[in-house]
């Protein structure tokens, strides 16, 4: 069993923000695989076969709460899930798979690491940068993508969804070698 966890914020006002790119990728996977969501584990939750899909409703800073509930219910370890999140230090159009690592200043990852007690889980970071000069990070990540970025956004989120499907069939090393770069 493998869980795909997309990070974002649940309110409509955050729907198209940079911080919600994890939700966007999981939504593409849900649509492609005809997965219906219910509310469970403080999240929007779906299951198809041995794949679990989780979109925490706890807000970014408390994402770990939902992840722990899912782990406890399904008896998952940190090696049984992958987290999809934004990274403002990477340029839009860039994907970066990692086997583990620090939170890198990302509050969603920080919450998960703190509450599951480990940073040894797979993750896919999707570039949303570059950060606009003199703009506070919070304003940037909670801002919407510009009109001129939307085509690239659609391409990279579609590619990220394809990469996650390949990850499920192969492993993290394979997708790192194939996808860790700027694509668009």
The mean per-residue pLDDT over the stretch 44-63 comes to 97
Q: According to the model, what pLDDT value does residue 17 have?
A: 97
Q: According to the model, what pLDDT value does residue 30 have?
A: 98
Q: According to the model, what pLDDT value does residue 88 have?
A: 96
Model pLDDT for residues 112-162, shown as the tens digit of each residue: 999 999 999 999 999 999 999 999 999 999 999 999 999 999 999 999 999
Model confidence, pTM = 0.97
Contact 54, 5 (CB under 8 A): yes
Query: Which is the catalytic residue, given 5, 6, 9, 19?
Result: 19
Q: According to the model, what pLDDT value does residue 180 have?
A: 98
Residue 66 confidence class, pLDDT cut points 50, 70, 90: very high
Domain boundaries, given as residue ranges, for the chain: 2-182
CATH 3.40.50.1470, domain 2-182, yes or no:
yes
Q: Tell me, yes or no, if 19 is annotated catalytic.
A: yes
Q: According to the model, what pLDDT value does residue 158 have?
A: 98
Q: According to the model, what pLDDT value does residue 41 have?
A: 98
| Assigned token pair, 72 | 């406890």
- Largest alpha-carbon pair distance within the chain? 46
């Amino acid at each position: 069993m493998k869980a795909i966890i997309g990070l974002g914020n649940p309110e409509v006002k955050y729907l198209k923000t940079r911080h919600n790119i994890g939700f966007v990728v999981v939504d593409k996977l849900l649509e492609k695989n005809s997965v219906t969501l219910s509310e469970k584990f403080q999240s929007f939750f779906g299951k198809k076969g041995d794949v679990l899909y989780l979109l925490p409703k706890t807000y970014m800073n408390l994402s770990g709460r939902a992840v722990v509930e899912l782990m406890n219910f399904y008896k998952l370890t940190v090696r049984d899930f992958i987290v999809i999140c934004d990274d403002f230090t990477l340029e839009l159009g860039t994907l970066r798979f990692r086997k583990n690592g620090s939170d890198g200043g990302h509050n969603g990852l920080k919450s998960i690491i703190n509450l599951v007690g480990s940073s040894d889980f797979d993750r896919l970071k999707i570039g949303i940068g570059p950060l606009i000069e003199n703009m506070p990070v919070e304003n940037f990540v909670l801002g919407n993508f510009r009109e001129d970025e939307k085509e690239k956004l659609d391409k990279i989120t579609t590619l990220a969804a394809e990469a996650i499907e390949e990850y499920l069939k192969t492993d993290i090393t394979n997708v790192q070698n194939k996808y860790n770069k700027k694509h668009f």
